[in-house]
Amino acid sequence: MNKKIALISPFLTHYRINFYKQFNEVLNNSLICYFQNKNKNDGRPAITIDGSESLFKNYKNIQITISTFSLKFSLDLIFKIKREKIDVLIIEGATSNITSWVFLLLKNIFNLRIVIWACGWYPEGHSFFVNRIKSFAEKIFFSRANYIITYSTKAKFNLRNIGITKPIYVAYNGIDLDTFKLNFEKVVIESLELKNTSKKVFLYVGGIFEDKNVRFLLEAFNNFNLVNKDSILWVIGDGPIKNELEKFVLNNKIEDIIFFGRIEKGVDSYFNAADFFVLPGVGGLALNQAMLWKSPCIVSEADGTEDDLVIDEVTGFRFLKNNIDSLVEKLTQAYNLSDEEYIKMGLKSQELILQRSNTDQMVKVFKKVIDIYSNKS
């Protein structure tokens, strides 16, 4: 008899659909995925759940904001998990989710095995006292899980560092290779049409909000571009401060920066057309996408996955966090690569994604964790 597995995540994103479907397939169609529907634009893409696919279910959520904290609770989700008689529950590693605490504290009553899927990245801005409280809560939270899956080795290290002894497996935050193979020729043709310039193209793809540090990138690129005129920055994405940043570029007469807005279908062509990808703040999966298309990455501190992906002067360049001079230096270093060095760096980047950081490998890790529970039952 197959175990019934449920996975809970805040929102369904287009780049995760194939992962969920592949995971469901290896579980013999015993997976149910629960997501909320978005009601506002915060710069992060999400797909609306309309009930047309049995794999994807919607749940309602209540959010309470206290100071810098946002607490979430869903009685609706608790009822649905109980009604479906779920055996293994995969939840996000967010201590602000009260629903997850309910499942962790009452897992024996619900007869659940719980897997926490943790990014390991947390926003800054809290005081020392608040951070101590968060660390204490995280130790209790993660210690209640049966198993933990992290996006990166850095996240695993962080959990071990606060005293978590439960089994931890790393499923590198991966990208879908099937889509890459299926669309390869089309992407190559489209990218040749896009890059109708001899300038070196630097690319940013992601949400446009404060944590992403896009204004910092614009300022650094402007300083870099004053010396290196034959370069251009493409900015792809949307969010609450996009209009503000477009005005900033216009008012300061910053040249060679183009805003494209949000692009979901067809964004691979921009990754392939670009010479380099720049991630100035938080994020992670875009690094995989760039590297898959042989675009070396320039990054500082993101969500932890950069430590597994971007090796300085091997698969990209690492700059000092929030240091404009350091970013300008790395932009210049990338710009001055010889053709031979550039090709070698691109091949190394792609090799890393093809061998390790992809959806196929993620599915294998998740399936391994489920099998451990099944074999113990």
8 Å CB contact between 332 and 224: yes
Provide mean pLDDT across the span 201-219. 94
Given a cut of 90, whether residue 120 has pLDDT beyond it is no
Residue carrying the six token digits 């350091």:
326
Given a cut of 80, whether residue 41 has pLDDT beyond it is no
CA 265/CA 319 separation, integer angstroms: 30
Q: Which of 23-32, 123-132, 345-354 has the lowest mean pLDDT?
A: 123-132
Given a cut of 60, whether residue 280 has pLDDT beyond it is yes
More confident residue, 324 or 129: 324
Structure tokens of 289?
């996408």
| Number of domains observed in the structure of the chain | 2
- Do 364 and 345 have their domain in common? no
- Do 342 and 242 have their domain in common? yes
pLDDT in tens, 217-263: 999 999 999 999 899 999 999 999 999 999 999 998 888 999 999 99
Kindly report the number of other CB atoms within 10 A of residue 137's CB atom: 13
- Do 335 and 370 have their domain in common? no
Radius of gyration of the chain (CA): 21
Given a cut of 70, whether residue 377 has pLDDT beyond it is no
CA 187/CA 277 separation, integer angstroms: 17
Provide mean pLDDT across the span 134-140. 89
> In what side-by-side order are the strands of the sheet with 316-318?
257-261, 231-236, 200-205, 276-279, 297-299, 316-318
Given a cut of 90, whether residue 293 has pLDDT beyond it is yes
Give residue 115's domain range: 5-174+358-376
DSSP strand pairing (31-36 vs 56-58): parallel
pLDDT in tens, 3-37: 899 999 999 988 899 999 999 999 999 999 999 98
- Do 108 and 122 have their domain in common? yes
- Do 154 and 193 have their domain in common? no
Given a cut of 80, whether residue 72 has pLDDT beyond it is yes
- Do 94 and 75 have their domain in common? yes
- Do 168 and 186 have their domain in common? no
Nearest to 203 by CA among 250, 254, 258: 258
Given a cut of 90, whether residue 319 has pLDDT beyond it is yes
- Do 291 and 198 have their domain in common? yes
- Sorting pLDDT into bands at 50, 70 and 90, what band is 125? low
pLDDT of residue 271: 96
pLDDT of residue 376: 63
Instruction: Measure the N-to-C terminal CA separation of the chain; round to a whole number of Å.
Output: 11
pLDDT of residue 107: 94
pLDDT of residue 132: 77
The model's pTM is 0.88
Say which CATH number the domain at 363 has.
3.40.50.2000
- Sorting pLDDT into bands at 50, 70 and 90, what band is 38? confident
Torsions phi, psi for 97 (to 5 deg): -95, 105
φ/ψ bin of 85: left (φ > 0), alpha (ψ from -120 to 50), beta (otherwise): left
Average pLDDT, the chain: 91
More confident residue, 47 or 313: 313
- Do 229 and 335 have their domain in common? yes
- Do 341 and 363 have their domain in common? no
- Do 99 and 215 have their domain in common? no
pLDDT in tens, 138-153: 999 999 999 999 999 9
- Do 139 and 211 have their domain in common? no
Nearest to 18 by CA among 52, 55, 57, 58: 55
Percentage of the chain modeled with pLDDT above 90: 74
